[in-house]
């Protein structure tokens, strides 16, 4: 398996090096080998034996690991601290060590370089590298937070001191496995019709979100509605990483289904998200994560295990693999197409062939490409990491050329923000590019939707993981630069087939979330008859149908001055607020409680980013100090990295370390008397004092510059039981131009959902 993966990657300098020369580069061994638990502390010894080339003065050895690895920065300064590394030469030659998170060629960016200084090494000499050297008191090297079938220490050598590093042939791998059970999950879809089949997914995750095989239980299942096919008791055996119960149906009355999983002693393990069972809906909802990649490109594990995880451990209905085009060689493109055809299972799981067009922002930026059928040509942004250039003439080196080349294809595209961000002003085709990804593991990017409104585009909202850790549909950020949990998209389709999903995508009948599953229904009702269009009439001549009601994603015209926006939200966790928006403007904010319900619970939220590009991370390390009252208890919000400090120092002081990348985090504090005294917040971006008497239901906003960077403080009820909301709100339409009507839902546990806009014009 590993040999095949490395052949597909094709990103090793030694690809052009004759085998006889590779044999002269030397060899390396690793101790210990085997399987090791995520986030465990270990000490590894790599012993490199110099080959017949020797290792010249100022030559170097390099140990590189893949970009997603979040085991932390190796260091050579403190022998008592974590991740201390040393190296020594058997002949006593001096060695200099340097670690750089961007020290090698993608995707092997994280690199420790050991340079020979004032001497040289001959054949048979050795260099011994100790990662997590414990001899001086270091606890060792801490492993990454996610599982990997074959974590590789890639060793390269610059034997001739030319600056050209060539891979030492033998691979050094270990297996990183899940930790102890921490959190049980029970996952359902969110909308089905009476009598329509669905599945229930059960799993238990370790503290870093990895499905673990170390749980064992007799699980008792109880539903609040009559569910045909649901067993009362199921065994969950050690060695299982997840369990799917298929072909379940609610055959009686419609309602909101919740399923509780308990032990035989009655201890509740998990309560599912709610499933709305409808008697009248013309469509069902299907959940997908259509954006992630694996070890064949810039991630980890294999494309096969990626689709297996999506279906069997994230319990998704739809998925797609989106590797960087400049790392997809023709053999891997062929393999991806074979995999999507193999995993395609109409009615149960839809696998969509595609790739990520990874052009630089200056030539249009990142786009996701989804084909309706296998066997289509891949149009790359470049061949940057591909050795075979025979088909370089098929490249589309800017987004405009890409859209031109896709004119005759049965294809859908998303604009998204990853490392690079999409510049939709540079190039856009509304018949191909139907939606924008506004949340992923890289952060939250509502500003990209604002760009679309300013440009007059009519685009839907999607959210995905853009994950690199092999966990589509359940993509935790871990302890690295990723500051957000990966997103999901809910597709409204008449059937779970590729045709059904593509019809949904073309009509923008979907909404995105930051990773939670909640049922969101948004419609607009007209006083007089309106017209809904099959296609955007700004782009093509389109037929229309007379209607009195439209759903999310529709494009319609009306003679009405005011329209009635209706929304229904059903969530598994309490709802904090719902914003009704017309384009970039929030026209109304609704909460399921009143100001009179709020008492001694204060919420502090930090959010935003530095700027649009790769260095968007905003550090929010800081403190909150109270005078006039005390903190009785507190709860963290979106504090995904369990190792970052977040603690109560005294009855009146909290201190934390936090990061946002366009998303938000924060805390709730229950105070002894929140009407008296003041709150002082101190961070590098915002520092201010707020009188608690001035904090109410609405946000007190402290601006932090940057890209929507700010701190918000507001009041909540001590306990909020509201998990459902239904409302109708009258919206005054603008006389000219579009009225993109959409909602943003925020739940108390820090998740969000955005409906695709309904585009109305008069």
CA–CA distance, 471 with 301 (Å, rounded to integer) = 10
Sign of torsion over alpha carbons 752, 756, 760, 761: positive
* DSSP-assigned states of every residue in 238-290: TT-S-EEEEEEEE-SS-EEE-EEEE-TT--EEEEPPPEEEESS-S-EEEEEE-
CA–CA distance, 556 with 431 (Å, rounded to integer) = 17
Cross-strand bridge partners of residue 510: 491
Q: Does 3.40.50.2300 match the CATH number of domain 2-177?
A: no
Q: Is the pLDDT of residue 725 over 70?
A: yes
The tokens describing 318, both together, are 């739809």
β-pair type (166-167, 148-158): antiparallel
Give the model's pLDDT for residue 20.
56
* DSSP-assigned states of every residue in 691-739: EGGG--SSPEEEE--TEEEEEEEEEEESS----EEEEEEEEEPPSSS-E
Calculate the alpha carbon distances from 379 to 1, 147, 230, 393, 497 in Å: 28, 32, 46, 9, 25
Nearest to 219 by CA among 187, 262, 260, 273: 262
- Which segments of 329-425 does DSSP mark as H helices, in order? 330-343, 399-405
Q: Looking at the domain that runs over 183-281, which CATH code has it been given?
A: 2.60.40.10
With residue 462 as reference, give the H or E element that holds it.
strand 460-463
Give the model's pLDDT for residue 280.
87
In sequence order, the 6+-apart residues with CB closer than 8 A to the CB of 650 are none
HSE (side-chain half, CA atoms, 13 Å) at 11: 24
**pLDDT tens sequence across 42-84:** 999 999 999 999 999 999 999 999 999 998 899 999 999 999 9
**pLDDT above 70 coverage of the chain, percent:** 97
Give the model's pLDDT for residue 666.
98
Class of domain 518-592+721-762: mainly beta
Give the model's pLDDT for residue 744.
98
Nearest to 261 by CA among 242, 277, 279, 280: 242
CA–CA distance, 756 with 483 (Å, rounded to integer) = 24
CA 603 to chain centre: 25
HSE (side-chain half, CA atoms, 13 Å) at 534: 7
Own/partner contacts of 385-393, CB < 8 Å, gap of 24 or more, are 385/10, 385/11, 385/105, 385/106, 385/326, 385/327, 386/10, 386/326, 386/327, 386/328, 386/329, 387/10, 387/15, 387/16, 387/329, 388/10, 388/329, 388/330, 391/330
Q: Is the pLDDT of residue 553 over 90?
A: yes
Nearest to 516 by CA among 496, 490, 553, 491: 490
Boundaries of CATH 2.60.40.10 in the chain?
183-281, 518-592+721-762
* DSSP-assigned states of every residue in 147-174: -EEEEEEEEEEETTSSS--EE-SS-EEE
CB distance 692 to 672 below 8 Å: no
**pLDDT tens sequence across 146-182:** 999 999 999 999 999 999 999 998 889 999 999 999 9
- Rounded to 5°, the CA angle 639-642-648 comes to 75
**pLDDT tens sequence across 209-240:** 999 999 999 999 999 999 999 999 999 999 99
Neighbours of 212 (CB within 10 A): 26
Give the model's pLDDT for residue 614.
85
Sign of torsion over alpha carbons 286, 291, 296, 299: negative
Mean pLDDT of the chain: 95
Give the model's pLDDT for residue 480.
77
Give the model's pLDDT for residue 483.
80
C-alpha radius of gyration, the chain, whole number: 27
Boundaries of CATH 2.60.40.1510 in the chain?
2-177
CA–CA distance, 132 with 64 (Å, rounded to integer) = 15
Phi and psi dihedrals of 268, rounded to 5? -75, 125
Phi and psi dihedrals of 652, rounded to 5? -120, 5
Give the model's pLDDT for residue 14.
43
**pLDDT tens sequence across 594-634:** 999 999 999 999 999 999 988 899 999 999 999 999 999 99
Class of domain 286-515: alpha beta
DSSP state of 39: T
**pLDDT tens sequence across 448-498:** 999 999 999 999 999 999 999 999 999 999 997 778 999 999 999 999 999
Neighbours of 544 (CB within 10 A): 15
The tokens describing 216, both together, are 């064992």
Cross-strand bridge partners of residue 570: 519, 724
Class of domain 595-717: mainly beta
Dihedral angle at the C-alpha atoms of 260, 264, 266, 272, nearest 10 degrees? Answer: -10
Cross-strand bridge partners of residue 412: 370
Per-residue pLDDT band at 252 (split at 50, 70, 90): confident
Q: Is the pLDDT of residue 9 over 70?
A: no
Give the model's pLDDT for residue 551.
98
Report helix, strand and coil shares of the chain as percent, to nearest 5. Answer: 10, 45, 45
DSSP state of 423: -
CA–CA distance, 347 with 368 (Å, rounded to integer) = 24
Q: Is the pLDDT of residue 284 over 60?
A: yes
* CB neighbour class for 41 (10 Å; exposed up to 12, middle 13-18, buried from 19): middle
**pLDDT tens sequence across 403-447:** 999 999 999 999 999 989 999 999 999 999 999 999 999 999 999
pTM here is 0.95
The tokens describing 73, both together, are 């920065």
Boundaries of CATH 3.20.20.140 in the chain?
286-515
Calculate the alpha carbon distances from 319 to 89, 304, 637 in Å: 49, 12, 28
């Amino acid at each position: 398996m590993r040999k095949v993966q490395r052949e597909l990657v094709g990103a090793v300098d030694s690809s052009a090096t004759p085998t006889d020369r590779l044999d002269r580069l030397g060899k390396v061994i690793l101790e210990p080998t085997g399987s090791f638990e995520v986030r465990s502390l270990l000490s590894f010894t790599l012993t490199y034996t110099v080959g017949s080339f020797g290792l010249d003065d100022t030559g170097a050895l390099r140990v590189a690991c893949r970009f997603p690895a979040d085991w932390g920065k190796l260091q050579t300064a403190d022998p008592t601290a974590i991740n201390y590394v040393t190296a020594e030469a058997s002949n006593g030659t001096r060695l200099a060590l340097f670690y750089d998170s961007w020290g090698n060629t993608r995707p092997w960016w994280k690199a420790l370089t050991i340079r020979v200084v004032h001497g040289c090494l001959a054949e048979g000499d050795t260099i011994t590298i100790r990662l997590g050297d414990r001899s001086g008191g270091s606890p060792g090297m801490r492993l990454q937070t996610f599982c990997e079938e074959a974590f590789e220490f890639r060793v390269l050598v610059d034997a001739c001191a030319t600056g050209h590093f060539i891979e030492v042939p033998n691979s050094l791998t270990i297996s990183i496995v899940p930790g102890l059970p921490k959190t049980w999950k029970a996952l359902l879809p969110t909308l089905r019709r009476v009598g329509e089949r669905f599945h229930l997914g059960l799993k238990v995750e370790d503290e870093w979100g990895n499905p673990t095989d170390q749980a064992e239980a007799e699980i008792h299942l109880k539903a609040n509605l009559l569910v045909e096919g649901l067993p009362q008791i199921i065994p969950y055996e050690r060695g299982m990483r997840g369990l799917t119960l298929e072909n379940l149906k609610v055959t009686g009355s419609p309602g909101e289904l919740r399923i509780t999983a308990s032990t035989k002693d009655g201890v509740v393990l998990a309560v599912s998200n709610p499933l709305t069972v409808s008697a009248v809906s013309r469509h069902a909802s299907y959940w997908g994560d259509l954006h992630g990649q694996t070890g064949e490109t810039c991630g980890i594990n294999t494309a096969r295990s990626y689709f297996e995880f999506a279906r069997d451990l994230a319990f998704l209905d739809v998925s797609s693999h989106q590797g960087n085009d400049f790392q997809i060689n023709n053999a891997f493109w062929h393999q991806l197409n074979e995999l999507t055809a193999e995993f395609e299972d109409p009615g149960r799981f839809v696998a969509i062939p595609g790739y990520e067009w990874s052009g630089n922002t200056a030539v249009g930026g990142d786009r996701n490409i989804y084909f309706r059928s296998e066997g289509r040509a891949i149009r790359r942004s470049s061949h940057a990491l591909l050795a075979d250039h025979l088909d370089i003439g098929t490249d589309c080196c800017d987004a405009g050329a890409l859209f031109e080349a896709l004119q005759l294809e049965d294809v859908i595209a998303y604009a998204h923000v990853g490392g690079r961000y999409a510049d939709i002003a540079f190039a856009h085709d509304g018949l191909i590019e139907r939606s924008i990804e506004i949340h992923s593991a890289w952060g939250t990017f509502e500003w990209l939707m604002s760009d679309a409104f300013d440009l007059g585009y009519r685009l839907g909202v999607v959210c995905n993981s853009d994950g690199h850790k092999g966990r589509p549909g359940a993509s935790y950020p871990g302890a690295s630069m990723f500051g957000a949990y990966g997103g999901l998209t809910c597709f409204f389709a008449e059937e779970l087939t590729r045709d059904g999903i593509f019809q949904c995508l073309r009509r923008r009948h979907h909404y995105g979330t930051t990773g939670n599953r909640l049922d969101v229904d948004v419609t607009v009702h007209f006083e007089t008859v309106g017209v809904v269009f099959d296609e955007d009439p700004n782009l093509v001549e389109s037929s229309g149908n007379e209607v009195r009601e439209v759903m999310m994603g529709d494009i319609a015209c009306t003679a009405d001055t005011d329209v009635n926006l209706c929304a229904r939200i059903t969530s598994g966790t309490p709802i904090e607020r719902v914003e009704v928006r017309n384009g970039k403007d929030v026209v109304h904010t609704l909460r399921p409680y009143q100001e009179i319900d709020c008492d001694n619970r204060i919420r502090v939220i930090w959010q935003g980013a530095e700027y649009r590009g790769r260095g968007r991370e905003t550090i929010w390390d800081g403190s909150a100090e109270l005078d006039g009252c005390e903190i009785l208890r507190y709860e963290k919000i979106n504090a995904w990295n369990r190792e970052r400090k977040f603690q109560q120092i005294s009855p009146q002081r909290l201190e934390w370390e936090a990061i946002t990348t366009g998303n938000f985090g924060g805390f709730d504090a229950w105070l002894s008397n929140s009407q008296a005294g003041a709150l002082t917040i101190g961070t590098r971006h915002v520092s201010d004092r707020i009188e608690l008497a001035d904090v109410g239901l609405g946000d007190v906003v402290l601006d932090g510059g940057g890209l929507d960077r700010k701190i918000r403080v507001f009041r909540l009820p001590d306990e909020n039981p509201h998990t459902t909301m239904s409302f109708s709100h009258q919206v005054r339409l603008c006389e000219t131009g579009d009225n993109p009507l959409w909602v943003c839902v925020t739940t108390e546990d820090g998740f969000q959902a955005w409906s695709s806009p309904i585009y109305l014009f008069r």
